[in-house]
Amino acid sequence: MKPRIARTSDADDRFADFDPATLYEAAGRSGMVDPAIRPAWPGARVCGPAFTVACPPGDNLMLHVAVAQAEPGVVIVATAVGYVMAGAWGEVLTEAARARGISGLVIDGAVRDIDAIEALRFPVFSRGVAIGSCTKEKTGMLQEPVQLGGITVRSGDLVFGNADGVVIVEQDRIEEVYKAAISRRTKESEIIRLLREGRTTMELLGLRDPRER
């Protein structure tokens, strides 16, 4: 039986105003994807449940299978084992994904056709950009745990990415992390208010000058 992908549209809406750093901290400093996996175009932002894909390096057949099978609203989270000499995703797959209502792509590998992807405003995060082509012959995996930039991702986990990077929130921790993120944001808002009144970070964060020890 394949893992259940939770329909997290409500969760997506609630998380939309956060940022990856806040969610990372709220999750106990866990879930940070390798910072080398970056948005393919300025302003790209993604939030949704993961649909996991594993592709052999240099072959993107399983990405085509995933797009054909994925439900609307999911984020395709793929590993190409960090291979960056071929663009595993480009304009054609982007058009196919948009037609299926897929929310975005995060891949530990390379993509291409960035100008076209940006024009379509489709969120893509990747380790690199490469014009090399892929074969479409080899079997991989769908909806099995994958490694994404050092983090294990399972279908249904929440994926959040923006200009700062990508964070993964485990599906069974979404409510816990959401509550902790709310608390953290409230605390930070109060700190910012006090800073604007003239207080210092040293005072508010309880820091000490090491020269005084």
- CATH of residue 60's domain is 3.50.30.40
Examine residue 51 and state whether it is found in any structural domain, yes or no: yes
* Nearest residue to 3 (alpha-carbon basis) of 170, 150, 136: 170
Each residue's pLDDT expressed in tens, for the chain with a length of 213 residues? 444 444 445 556 788 889 999 999 999 999 999 999 999 999 999 999 999 999 999 999 999 999 999 999 999 999 999 999 999 999 999 999 999 999 999 999 999 999 999 999 999 999 999 999 999 999 999 999 999 999 999 999 999 999 999 999 999 999 999 999 999 999 999 999 999 999 999 999 999 989 887
**Cβ count within 10 A of residue 67:** 23
Examine residue 189 and state whether it is found in any structural domain, yes or no: no
The chain-wide mean pLDDT, for the chain, equals 93
> Which of 162-174 are b and which e, b meaning 16 or more Cβ less than 10 Å from the residue's Cβ?
beebbbbbbbebb
pTM for the structure as a whole: 0.91
CB-CB contact of 83 with 111 (8 Å): no
CB-CB contact of 89 with 83 (8 Å): no
Examine residue 148 and state whether it is found in any structural domain, yes or no: yes
- In the numeric block, which tokens belong to residue 73? 């609203």
pLDDT tens, position by position, 165-206: 999 999 999 999 999 999 999 999 999 999 999 999 999 999
Examine residue 172 and state whether it is found in any structural domain, yes or no: yes
Examine residue 162 and state whether it is found in any structural domain, yes or no: yes
HSE toward the beta carbon, residue 60, CA cutoff 13 A: 24
Sequence-distant (6+) residues with CB within 8 A of 113 are 87, 90, 91, 94
- In the numeric block, which tokens belong to residue 124? 């893509």
* Nearest residue to 51 (alpha-carbon basis) of 88, 8, 18, 84: 8
Task: List C-alpha distances in Å: 66 to 71, 143, 162, 170.
Answer: 9, 9, 23, 21
Examine residue 93 and state whether it is found in any structural domain, yes or no: yes
Q: Supply the range of the domain harboring residue 79.
A: 9-182
Examine residue 197 and state whether it is found in any structural domain, yes or no: no
Examine residue 212 and state whether it is found in any structural domain, yes or no: no
Total domains in the fold of the chain: 1
